């Protein structure tokens, strides 16, 4: 792929690209502060709002899919990087309404964690929000993908097209739309192929060693390696046959995800960005021919650049096992620049004045996460301070553990967040005066987000935001001011754990902080006894010594290292819980 670009500043490139999209479509509003494209005609009180997003570099996904009949808004990160949590939350607040908001994303760790956290924060703010994660790749089979699941690829476009049409027709609730989406995801299979990797603007040239006579089968959309390199490069018919084998072979237990009905199959051929129109048309014709040999005649065929990987010289094939209802929604026109297969057209809305757009960009996106639940702020702050000081005291110990099985910064990461909480509680008058349990937790969660990096930060923040959201719902049921009871803390903690488990496949037994968190909450829920729950957390942490790792950098270290130390994340959590409940 080309290593020269006209624009080498990645940040400028993304911002200007989004700006250019809005300038060429009068129905779109560009929110520069949040790198979001918004449908100016969308009414979130009349229909469920669908918001998608992810890293830039996949255009027209997702920004150019914003419009009537498809997305209400799309949020963009930098090239191949997830948007921030606050970008997503602010966009939900601006675009979502009383009908609820469905966040539709592809199955990549950064997107999954950030959008899950954003959904919890939006719930805290009072916005009914749900998440749909699309995984349609079959090239990386069950053995390699494990519980992380299938990668999200171009099949995501079909999911969003169907759900966008269904939402526009109205008379559907957020849970119903989410369930419908899950059904569509289960009907999808995609595989890609490319002649090489791509170069990211403004980045050093990668060390990819590529032959001019090879094809990478199963390559992802972020330069991820495929499942097989075909060398020498096979004829196009042979290549497509191998791709279709991965999708359709019912005897391939590792990749067989969908049973396709030959009479009810939709075909989407997707240009990854760098294939010429001439060559791509021939590829599409060949895909249809090779399906015909298998007695599959697609009931609908879509071909074009729907989800690219910058200028990757490659393509993907998606099959959707459909039915009459899904076809009905696929046939509903969508008025967006990115969905051209149905004859995209402008709706003729009057062009907004520049000052109106600028005013829209300044909409105040902060929210007041208040509730009717009250706490003893002095006791809670004192317990939290003690727990944070405990973390600071053991910071180096945890770093030593992490140096054996990770990158050596777990303790520092926890310590940085702990010191930030200590400083805020001591210096901020808010903590001295505010007795609102939800507001307190929401503020602590924001401090964690701002000061705790990486996966640990996302996991803690998701749990804290989910805890706040659950407490808020308890307060809404009570309909009066009440002091939070221990049973309500336990209930909210159990619900927060469930929310966290929806965001990550990690479970007890995988050598993560879940080995301490899950037994702590389960025991607390069963016994209502803190000392017993703490003992269960310690036991869970101790069991991680010698336990094979399933997630994180520890997966890649020599196995003998696992027996030397317990999991650093689980250790840090146990120390924190011991400090928090030291005076219980």
* pLDDT for position 341: 67
Least Cα distance to 215 among 240, 236, 235, 194 occurs for 194
Least Cα distance to 445 among 120, 157, 95, 94 occurs for 120
* pLDDT for position 456: 87
Q: Which residues contact 477 (CB under 8 A, 6 or more apart)?
A: none
**Distance of CA 86 to CAs 34, 116, 170, 173, 517, Å?**
8, 12, 29, 25, 26
CATH number of the structural domain 373-581: 1.25.40.340
What is the 8-class DSSP label of residue 205?
Answer: P
52 touches 103 (CB < 8 A): yes
Tens-place pLDDT, residues 545-556: 988 877 665 555
* pLDDT for position 356: 42
Q: Which residues contact 550 (CB under 8 A, 6 or more apart)?
A: 146, 147, 506, 509, 510, 511, 512
Name the residue ranges covered by the structural domains of the chain: 12-196+210-331, 373-581
Tens-place pLDDT, residues 512-547: 999 999 999 999 999 999 999 999 999 999 999 988
* Angle at 268 (CA atoms; ends 262, 270), nearest 5 degrees: 150
Q: How confident is the model at residue 2 (pLDDT cuts 50, 70, 90)?
A: low
Report pTM: 0.84
- What is the DSSP track for 407-451? -S-HHHHHHHHHHHHHHHHHH-HHHHH--BHHHHHHHHHHHHHHH
* pLDDT for position 354: 39
Average pLDDT over residues 253-261: 94
7 touches 201 (CB < 8 A): yes
Burial classification of residue 487, based on how many CB atoms lie within 10 Å of its CB (0-12 exposed, 13-18 middle, 19 or more buried): exposed
pLDDT, greater one: 5 or 495: 495
Name the percent of the chain lying above pLDDT 90: 75
* pLDDT for position 209: 52
Q: How confident is the model at residue 281 (pLDDT cuts 50, 70, 90)?
A: very high
**Active site positions, annotated:** 222
User: Yes or no: is domain 12-196+210-331 CATH 3.40.50.10440?
Assistant: yes
Q: Where are the alpha helices (DSSP H) in 63-135?
A: 85-95, 109-124
Is 58 marked within a binding site? yes
Is 220 marked within a binding site? no
168 touches 47 (CB < 8 A): yes
* pLDDT for position 300: 95
- What is the DSSP track for 127-151? --EEEEEE--B-SS-HHHHGGG-PP
* pLDDT for position 342: 46
* pLDDT for position 446: 92
Q: Which residues contact 351 (CB under 8 A, 6 or more apart)?
A: 26
* pLDDT for position 495: 97
* pLDDT for position 533: 97
13 touches 43 (CB < 8 A): no
Average pLDDT over residues 473-478: 88
Q: How confident is the model at residue 478 (pLDDT cuts 50, 70, 90)?
A: confident
pLDDT, greater one: 362 or 187: 187
Tens-place pLDDT, residues 83-102: 999 999 999 999 999 999 99
Q: How many CB atoms lie within 10 A of CB 262?
A: 13
Tens-place pLDDT, residues 208-251: 555 678 999 998 898 887 788 898 999 999 999 999 999 999 99
- Per the prediction, the chain carries an average pLDDT of 89
Q: How many CB atoms lie within 10 A of CB 512?
A: 28
Q: How many CB atoms lie within 10 A of CB 162?
A: 25
Average pLDDT over residues 349-369: 40
Tens-place pLDDT, residues 321-356: 999 999 999 999 999 999 976 432 222 333 344 344
pLDDT, greater one: 1 or 187: 187
Is 199 marked within a binding site? no
Half-sphere exposure at residue 140, Cβ-oriented, CA atoms within 13 angstroms: 20
Q: How confident is the model at residue 432 (pLDDT cuts 50, 70, 90)?
A: confident
pLDDT, greater one: 164 or 562: 164
Least Cα distance to 306 among 196, 189, 159 occurs for 159
* pLDDT for position 202: 73
Name the percent of the chain lying above pLDDT 70: 91
Helix (H) or strand (E) run with residue 104 in it: strand 101-106
């Amino acid at each position: 792929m080309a290593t020269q670009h006209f624009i080498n500043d990645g940040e400028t490139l993304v911002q200007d690209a989004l700006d250019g999209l809005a300038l060429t479509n009068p129905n779109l509003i560009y929110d520069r502060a949040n790198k979001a494209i918004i449908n100016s005609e969308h009414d979130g009180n009349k229909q469920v709002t669908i918001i998608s997003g992810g890293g830039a570099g996949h255009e027209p996904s997702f920004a150019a899919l914003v419009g009537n009949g498809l997305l209400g808004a799309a949020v963009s990160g930098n090239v191949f990087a997830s948007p921030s949590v606050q970008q997503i939350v602010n966009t939900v607040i601006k675009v979502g309404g009383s009908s609820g908001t469905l966040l539709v994303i592809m199955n990549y760790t950064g997107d999954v964690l950030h959008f899950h956290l954003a959904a919890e924060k939006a719930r805290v703010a009072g916005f009914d929000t749900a998440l749909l994660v699309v995984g349609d790749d079959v090239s990386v089979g069950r053995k390699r993908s494990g519980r992380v699941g299938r990668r999200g690829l171009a099949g995501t476009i079909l999911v969003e097209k169907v759900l966008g049409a269904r939402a526009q027709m109205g008379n559907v609730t957020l849970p119903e739309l989410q369930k419908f989406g899950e059904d569509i995801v289960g009907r999808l299979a995609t595989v890609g192929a490319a002649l090489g990797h791509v170069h990211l603007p403004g980045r050093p040239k990668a060390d990819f060693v590529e032959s001019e006579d090879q094809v990478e089968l199963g390559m992802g959309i972020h330069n991820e390696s495929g499942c097989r390199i075909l060398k020498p490069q096979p004829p196009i018919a042979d290549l497509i046959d191998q791709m279709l084998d991965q999708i359709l072979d019912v005897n391939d237990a590792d990749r067989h995800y969908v049973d396709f009905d030959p009479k009810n199959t939709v075909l989407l051929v997707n240009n990854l960005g760098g294939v010429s129109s001439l060559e791509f048309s021939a590829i599409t014709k060949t895909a249809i021919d090779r399906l015909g040999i298998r007695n599959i005649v697609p009931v609908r065929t879509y071909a074009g650049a729907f989800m690219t990987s910058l200028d990757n010289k490659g393509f993907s094939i998606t099959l959707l096992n459909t039915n009459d209802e899904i076809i009905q929604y696929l046939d509903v026109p969508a008025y967006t620049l990115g969905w051209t297969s149905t004859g995209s057209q402008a709706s003729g809305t009057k062009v907004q004045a520049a000052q109106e757009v600028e005013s829209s960009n300044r909409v105040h996106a902060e929210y007041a996460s208040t509730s009717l639940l009250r706490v003893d702020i002095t006791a809670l702050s004192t317990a939290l301070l003690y727990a944070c000081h405990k973390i600071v005291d053991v910071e180096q110990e945890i770093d030593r553990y992490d140096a054996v099985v990770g990158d050596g910064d777990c303790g520092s990461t926890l310590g940085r967040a702990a010191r930030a909480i200590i400083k805020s509680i001591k210096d901020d008058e808010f903590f001295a005066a505010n007795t609102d349990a939800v507001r307190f937790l929401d503020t602590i969660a924001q401090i964690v987000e701002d000061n705790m990096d990486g996966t640990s930060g996302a996991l803690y923040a998701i749990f804290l935001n989910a805890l706040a959201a659950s407490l808020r719902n308890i307060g809404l049921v009570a309909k009066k001011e009440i002091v939070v009871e221990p049973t309500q803390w336990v209930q909210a903690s159990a619900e927060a754990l469930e929310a966290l488990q929806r965001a990550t496949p990690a479970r007890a037994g995988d050598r993560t902080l879940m080995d301490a968190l899950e037994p702590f909450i389960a025991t607390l829920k069963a016994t209502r006894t803190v000392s017993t729950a703490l003992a269960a957390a310690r036991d869970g942490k101790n069991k991680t010594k010698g336990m094979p790792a399933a997630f994180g950098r520890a997966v890649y270290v020599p196995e003998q290292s696992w027996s030397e130390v317990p999991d650093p994340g689980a250790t840090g959590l146990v120390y924190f819980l011991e400090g928090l409940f030291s005076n219980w």
